[in-house]
Chains A and B, each alone.
Chain A
Amino acid sequence: MSGQLSVGLNCPSCGGAISVSEGESSLNCRYCGSTLYIEGDNGVNTVAFKNKLDRDAAIKATKAWWRKGFKARDLKSAGAITEVYPIYLPFWSIGTRVAGWVCGYEEKTTTDSKGNTRTEREYKEEMVLMDLSFSEIACDPGDLGIRSLRNFNGEASFEDMDMIPSFESTTSRDDAMAHARADAMARGRASARIPNITFESLHVLVRKLSMIYYPVWVARYTYQDRMYIATVDGVTGQMLSGRAPGDPLYQSLAVTAGTSLGGLAAAGGIIAAFTFQSEIGIAGVILGLIVLGGTYWFFRHGSEIIEGDFADRKQLASLKKGQLGSLLGGARI
């Protein structure tokens, strides 16, 4: 998978230099043939991936990213990069195999020509057997917007670690293992695609656990006196995360559409509710309020384009699922 890595380790028998790959726990010395056992600190093997980017490449990638999507159209001329630097971030890299069975049924409702509905159960039994990769950042990522790895391949080498500052790992191996197991369970269960589960027996095996120090370039830039950040993958050169100003034109279009639609629906709903006392009316009011709320949210936060795992982006996702749902639930009473 990943390349060989010389970590300044020597064969205890002949003194020859040895190289270890990620996740490897035993090897035979290529000079004297002795069989050797590698014991990671606290059972964790560590590798670092070689940084493949320079400052110019990181700036180029950031500027190319500025031109994509609904970002401010004058960003490429008005944006000014203030600092660009590489860092090493530690990640837990865990390979799992999930094996088991998920059984249950799916309900299918059909309506015949007379309007009679019938619900039938389609019974299912699905085997789950897959190998999965899980990664999780092993330190506090701060405002970088990075939580997991997308790339697990790289040239393993510790030589850049003298030059590039690296974050200490601060999270525990056991927590990371527990997260990897939960992730494998959830992905295994989801792969069975059974809406109503009546029986489930899933086993997760941890096949490989290591710590990867991954090179990331951080670019900070300004646009109209505001500070923004972007990060670039130091191995692949891809964008990892970033914040950028949105385009005012797209925003005003969205806000206009949102308020008029929301207002119409709410107003129509109130009239309908008073006139017919119908449920449609109440639903209209609720729908209108949601659209208005969404527009307000976009107006406040949508002025920024956010890509990556930033904490405030997560809030939007949970707001959609949680608060909107409870708003609906509350409105129904």
Chain B
Amino acid sequence: MKVTLVKCPKCELPLYMETQDEFFYCSHCGTIHTRNGPKVERIPYEIADFRPDAQTDNRVYVPFWRLHTDFRIKSRDVKGGFFNKIGQALKGGDKGASIYIYVPASQMETAAFRYWSVNLTINNPRYSARTDFAGTPRMPATTTRDEAIELADFVAVTLEAEKPGTLQYLDYTLTVNEAKVVYLPFMSSRSGLHLAV
């Protein structure tokens, strides 16, 4: 095994991070990069501000991949439920929708993963962006861009499956136009994570 000193790919200064994180954050110039063997990739990202009345205790930033996608359904077959009729009308394809799909970039238990990916995709969070983390701890990221794209496909199918009726068939295309990381503000408590935008 080989050990290398992590340096920022932009300003070339060595990093001294406080937590163990696969998203390497340079506190000098704000660049975030990932490494895969000798391959270095810069990650475009945004930081969302906490809402003004949010408590200052227990704040944490959780990274999500936000994928701008075109989700186009060519045909679907749903048994029972409201979509039974609509399904017929859809044959031949619909126009498709442009959606932002959120995929957690941190390691989460499967239940939390499902909850946050589906909820943030259905209700995209609105926030004002800021330029630094203001000393707020970050949850370490583990999910690569390619993995996020695979998981976006899972989220898109979940949106369809969770509509009324029982899904039997789905023919679709999902095109990812842009992938960006968004650090969303959360309050952590014993009951779990609470969004604080």
Known: A35-B15, A123-B79, A125-B161. A11 touches B167 (CB 8 A): no
18 contacts between A and B (CB under 8 A): A18-B3, A24-B20, A28-B16, A28-B18, A28-B20, A35-B15, A37-B5, A39-B1, A39-B2, A43-B37, A97-B110, A101-B167, A103-B161, A103-B168, A123-B79, A125-B167, A127-B161, A129-B113
Q: Which of B144-174 contact A (CB under 8 A)?
A: 147, 150-151, 153-154, 157-158, 161, 166-170
Determine whether A9 belongs to the interface, using a CB cutoff of 8 Å to chain B.
yes
B14 touches A20 (CB 8 A): no
Determine whether A10 belongs to the interface, using a CB cutoff of 8 Å to chain B.
yes
Q: Which of A12, A20, A27, A36: most chain B CB closer than 10 A?
A: A36
Complex interface bits, B1-45 against A, C-beta within 8 A gives 1, otherwise 0: 111111000000011111111101000000000010110000000
A residues near B107, Cβ cutoff 8 Å = 207
Q: Residue of A at shortest CB range from B170?
A: A199
A binding-site residues for B, Cβ under 8 Å = 7, 9-13, 18, 20, 24-28, 33-41, 43, 45-46, 97, 99-101, 103-105, 123-125, 127, 129-131, 198-199, 201, 203, 205, 207
A residues near B114, Cβ cutoff 8 Å = 127, 129
B residues near A123, Cβ cutoff 8 Å = 79-80, 166, 168
Picked from B3, B113, B142, B154, the residue with its CB within 8 Å of the CB of A12 is: B3
**Once bound together, how far apart are the Cα atoms of A100 and B147, in whole Å?**
13
Known: A11-B3, A26-B22. A37 touches B153 (CB 8 A): no
B152 → A minimal CB distance (Å): 10
A residues near B4, Cβ cutoff 8 Å = 12, 36-37, 39
Picked from A36, A103, A125, the residue with its CB within 8 Å of the CB of B6 is: A36
Complex interface bits, B132-148 against A, C-beta within 8 A gives 1, otherwise 0: 00000000001000010
A residues near B16, Cβ cutoff 8 Å = 28, 33-35
Known: A35-B15, A35-B16, A125-B161. A105 touches B3 (CB 8 A): no
B residues near A198, Cβ cutoff 8 Å = 77, 168-169
**Once bound together, how far apart are the Cα atoms of A7 and B3, in whole Å?**
11
A203 touches B150 (CB 8 A): yes
A7 touches B166 (CB 8 A): no
B residues near A203, Cβ cutoff 8 Å = 150-151, 153-154
A205 touches B3 (CB 8 A): no
B residues near A33, Cβ cutoff 8 Å = 16
**Once bound together, how far apart are the Cα atoms of A33 and B20, in whole Å?**
11
**Once bound together, how far apart are the Cα atoms of A234 and B188, in whole Å?**
41
Q: Residue of B at shortest CB range from A44?
A: B1
**Once bound together, how far apart are the Cα atoms of A28 and B14, in whole Å?**
12
B residues near A201, Cβ cutoff 8 Å = 153-154, 157, 170
Known: A26-B6, A39-B2, A43-B37. A100 touches B154 (CB 8 A): yes
A residues near B157, Cβ cutoff 8 Å = 100-101, 201
Picked from B1, B110, B142, the residue with its CB within 8 Å of the CB of A7 is: B1
B72 → A minimal CB distance (Å): 15
**Once bound together, how far apart are the Cα atoms of A123 and B164, in whole Å?**
13
A301 → B minimal CB distance (Å): 43
Known: A12-B5, A25-B22, A39-B1. A205 touches B151 (CB 8 A): yes
A residues near B167, Cβ cutoff 8 Å = 101, 103, 125, 199
